Structure 1
């Protein structure tokens, strides 16, 4: 699925469940929460979690968990962008241009 199609799909999905109605300020807090869960998933993979009240996960389960949490972050980014009528393609292109201009002397042509 391409980025544009996914952004449209996830927006419709959230609207159907009345999750889309949260204002961007609240959605940004959801994003922050999900970023924390990504950090926790990475910590689990990299250094582990010494918690007797948690079941240990195998490496594949850890990667599945990280993938799920990254998806939650991505969805929140898509919804915030959609609320401001900004496509992810526009964000990617704009950011790429910004980096190329900022570091134009660092890029080698090839």
Structure 2
């Protein structure tokens, strides 16, 4: 699967569910909600949660939950970008352009040894 195929499928899915018409500021609220769910999943995995009404999850379940929430965030970013007419490639180009301008051109996609990103 490539990112454009997924973005196209996702837009069609959102249209079919009547979720696509929501304006960007509402989409941003949904993205914020998903970020909160991702934060909770990462917190649970990294430092745990101490809630008496929750059962402790296996590491595998915790990682599945993180993957699910990352995918939700990713999908919301793709839909929000589409609302502004940006393709996934536009986002990737903007990211690389900004980082190259800020930190200098780096040909390899590998970070310099010892560099913390």
**Distance in 2 (alpha carbons) for counterparts of 1:49 and 1:94:** 37
Match status 1:62 vs 2:62: yes
Offset of residue 21 of structure 1: 1.2
Offset of residue 83 of structure 1: 1.1
Match status 1:23 vs 2:17: no
Offset of residue 10 of structure 1: 0.3
Question: 1:104 maps to which residue?
Answer: 104
Offset of residue 56 of structure 1: 1.1
Query: After the TM superposition, which parts of structure 1 deviate over 4 Å for at least 4 consecutive aligned residues?
Result: none
Q: TM-score, normalised by structure 1?
A: 0.93
What is the number of equivalent residue pairs in this alignment? 108
CA offsets, 1:58-102, max 9 Å, x none? 000000000101111011101111111100111111210111111
Offset of residue 53 of structure 1: 0.3
Question: 1:94 maps to which residue?
Answer: 94
Question: 1:12 maps to which residue?
Answer: 12
CA offsets, 1:7-61, max 9 Å, x none? 1010000000001111110000000010011110000000100111011100000
* Structure 2, gaps ≥5 residues long: 109-117
* Structure 1, gaps ≥5 residues long: none
**Distance in 2 (alpha carbons) for counterparts of 1:16 and 1:55:** 36
CA RMSD across the alignment = 1.3
Aligned residue for 2:51, secondary structure, equals coil
